[in-house]
Structure 1
Amino acid sequence: MNEPSLSSRPESYCGRPAVPPAASAQQSKPSIPCGPAHIRDENGSMNDTGGHCGQRRSTAAVVQPARMSAMTPSLTRTLPRMARVLGEHAPASARCLRSPASGDEIEAAQERMGVVFPADLVEWFLFADGLEPKVGVGALLPPMHLPPSAARTVDLWQRRLEDSPVVDPVSENRSAGSAIQGFDRLFVPVGDDTTGDLFVADLRPGEMRGCVLNWGQVDGHAGAPIWSSVTQMWADVAQALETSALAGDCPDKDPHLTSNGCAAVFSESGVLEWEF
């Protein structure tokens, strides 16, 4: 797929005016497919945004109560906001959001990995089962990461466990958010740059449990987490999209920069790109 532009953001940053924040959302039931094919908006209506790169439209089953908490209200508002802006200004990217994962698919992923996903990650999968890799659709997570499907999450996790240095739970600092050279089995991939580096939800114990780290296949993780949770990650992306730039336009103010220093740009061909 085409890599997003990594060029420096110019002093005079051109883009479209900010999209007004969405209205307060009503909670929707996770048993109803509310992903990109039929997006449930803030008023509870179902909006059709088009196809899904040939993906089937599946009905998302309810995850067993022991495995899933109630939907996070802020994420329930965030995801329709994000999908709405994508549909309006990056339709090529929006069309490749996959249909919601089923409850069985989410349960199977958790069982194979031996972990319980954070409630906000479950909610994401019930909204959209990742982004379908396709040339020319951009990357949904800055600067060049694709959110994987539930099945792909398991595959990435298994491969990193096999290829990375073994983590000794006795000698390694296993506190969430701490530096680590290898790949911990309590890391859940939430973003894939397709070269081996990942964003992972860190489920190691500690006050920062659930934070999102940048993990590299060469250096592992060092430094501070990028986001405190999956919820904050998507809220950051949604805000960047709502203040994004359209090539050739000049807004009155700078766009929102994500926690890892990226600004969203919509190309003339309707693709989401990210610039540092």
Structure 2
Amino acid sequence: MGTWDVGPFDSDAAADFCGDLDEAPEAARPGLVRDALVRVLDAADPLDQGLAVPAVAAAALVAAQCPGGRPVTSAYGPDLPVPELPADLRDIAVRALHRVRAEPSELRALWADTDRYPHWLRSLDLLLRVLTFPAPQPVARSWARIGGWMRRHAPVSYALLAAPAEPAEVESAQQEMGVRFPADLLASLACHDGITEWANLLPGPPPLSVGGMLAHWRMCVEIAGDDPDLTEPHGDGEDDEPWWHPQWIPWAESDGDSQVIDLREGPGRGRLGSAAHDDTGRFDDGWPSLAVYLTAVADALDQGGEADGMTPYLTPEGELWWAFPGETELNGDPLTPARPLPGRSTVPRAACSS
């Protein structure tokens, strides 16, 4: 089987699968995608690479229709449109990818013998990330859930949530930045104008006030100026980004590293990524929107689990603290896994946590 790169369509077997999709009637294509995934789940160990490769391509087609999914631009992908796929294929695709990624998998073993193995694993992990994004809830609802959890389990942290932003200040910031904030950012600022002092309240950097957003944006625009080393990407890959772009809105920041909302025109408008002070921007492992990110944070608190690869804990002082799974201490003091609320949150659906 010819394979030339780690992407889901970068092999003869994947191209053959996509060719079969093109030759099938439009109504039959979702069934072919499902069959490719189910065959992996039903297969005996070890999983044959001839089943695994089409399943990865099928999972990529499912992910392309999810929030934050990348459109299929590979020349070896389907030439004809894939109809809207049933929602249940997301879970099937996740289980199929985990089967391909785990031992005993012939495809995994073949990649493990190459120096591209970490890149292959990352390509699967990015697909899994998209497939497991939660359906976004209204931002006010997510903040109400986050605040309700903190009010009950981490009142010290809850007290740091700022009051809503002043509409006039929000309008002034938009005018100076030359953009209109997306609806989810406006909704977030209508709940909390950032936090009153630095705290590890979210898996990523802490949210900024409107004034903090504008100050960080001004600084980055001034530093970047018209220097092409800072304002232009330097590679030819689809993930290449500049150090800074004036249509990136820093909604959260810590030590010069910001979490930015991309307001450039195009299919990625509104996505959430990162802009490190010593690196280029990155969106390949970000979030499709602020609303999805805050939903994931609320889910991790309410239901237990992770968000952005981080797990919520409580410090001995009763503060919320996000750290990698399995952490047991912070600066020598014990960290206690945060316990979720029993059952569903009782915070009113339409209210912010003010």
Q: TM-score, normalised by structure 2?
A: 0.49
Structure 2: gaps spanning 5 or more residues: 1-135, 325-354
Counterpart residue number, 2:196: 132
Cα distance in structure 2, aligned partners of 1:232 and 1:166: 33
Decide which of 298, 303, 306 is 1:257's aligned counterpart. Answer: 306
* CA shift for structure 1 position 102: 1.5
Q: Percent identity?
A: 28
* CA shift for structure 1 position 167: 6.5
Counterpart residue number, 1:270: 318
The answer to whether the 8 Å contact 1:133/1:146 transfers is no
Higher helix share: 2
Cα distance in structure 2, aligned partners of 1:190 and 1:170: 20
Q: Would you say how many aligned residue pairs link Structure 1 and Structure 2?
A: 185
Decide which of 192, 202, 217 is 2:253's aligned counterpart. Answer: 192
Question: Residue 88 of structure 1 aligns to a residue in which SS?
Answer: helix
| Structure-to-structure mapping, 1:218-257, within 5 angstroms | 218-222=278-282, 224-243=284-303, 255-257=304-306
* CA shift for structure 1 position 171: 6.0
Post-superposition Cα deviations, 1:38-84, rounded to whole Å, max 9, x if no partner, equal: xxxxxxxxxxxxxxxxxxxxxxxxxxxxxxxxxx9622321111110
What letter matches 1:268 in structure 2? P
Decide which of 219, 244, 252 is 1:183's aligned counterpart. Answer: 244
Counterpart residue number, 1:56: none
The answer to whether the 8 Å contact 1:189/1:200 transfers is yes
What letter matches 2:257 in structure 1? D
Question: Residue 132 of structure 1 aligns to a residue in which SS?
Answer: coil
Cα distance in structure 2, aligned partners of 1:112 and 1:208: 23
Cα distance in structure 1, aligned partners of 2:162 and 2:283: 32
Decide which of 77, 89, 94 is 2:153's aligned counterpart. Answer: 89
Greater relative contact order structure (CA < 8 Å, 6+ sep): 1
Q: TM-score, normalised by structure 1?
A: 0.62
The answer to whether the 8 Å contact 1:148/1:190 transfers is yes
Cα distance in structure 1, aligned partners of 2:137 and 2:280: 33
* CA shift for structure 1 position 208: 1.5
Cα distance in structure 2, aligned partners of 1:164 and 1:90: 39
> Which has the larger Rg?
2
